[in-house]
Amino acid sequence: MKKALILVGAIAAFSFSQASELWWTVNDTVSVDGGEATSWTTAKLFASANGYNYGGTQIGDAVTAADMADWGFWNSDIDGYGSSYSFYVELYNSASESIGKSYFNMASTPPQGATPYAQLSGAVYDGNLMNPTASAYTFSQFTTSDVIPEPSSGLMMLLGMVALGLKRKKV
């Protein structure tokens, strides 16, 4: 009898805990800016307080494409990230270069918007053993990341030589 009461108490404690997990997935082949991108090897989930898909905080570890294919989805602990946050996934290639960020397109959000918590609510598992329903959210729309190119030293030297060549001689 005592063991049964302990078991019931443990189940009740687990059902009242609020350990939230976001269940998410990325397809094997995703579209980045309308073109197929099969070269992603790693995906990272980010939480954004400003609603955009940049400047966010990475949640958990990076997920490999092989793990995503094996498991079908991934779960990330989102405790502390409530309804005021939005989420996005960033894809990387084998050289750890960003090749695309997910975005959520709706009328009141620019195309670079992250997916709001309200849209992901069906994919959030709150640790309730009595109601273990959540289905993984698929991040499917991706756009290229903002890349700021920096000039190489050779190009800078060439520009300096051109500037010196344009200098007029005093007569």
Give the residue carrying structure tokens 């009461």. 5
Query: Residues 84-123: pLDDT tens digits?
Result: 899 999 988 888 888 888 888 755 445 578 888 888 888 8
Q: Which residues of the chain have pLDDT under 70?
A: 1-19, 28, 37-38, 106-111, 128-132, 145-150, 168-171
Contact 37, 69 (CB under 8 A): no
Which pTM does this prediction carry?
Answer: 0.68
- Gap between the Cα atoms of 157 and 155, Å rounded: 5
Give the pair of three-digit tokens for residue 109.
Answer: 């959000």
- For residue 71, the model assigns a pLDDT of 86
Which helix (H) or strand (E) element contains residue 163? helix 153-165
Give percent of the chain above pLDDT 70: 74
Three-class SS state of 37? strand
Residue 72 region by backbone torsions, left for phi larger than 0, else alpha for psi between -120 and 50, else beta: left
Partners of 61 in the β-ladder: none
User: What mean pLDDT, rounded, does the chain reach?
Assistant: 77
- For residue 45, the model assigns a pLDDT of 93
- Gap between the Cα atoms of 15 and 9, Å rounded: 10
Distances (CA, A) of 51 to 19, 56, 84, 111, 158: 23, 9, 9, 11, 42
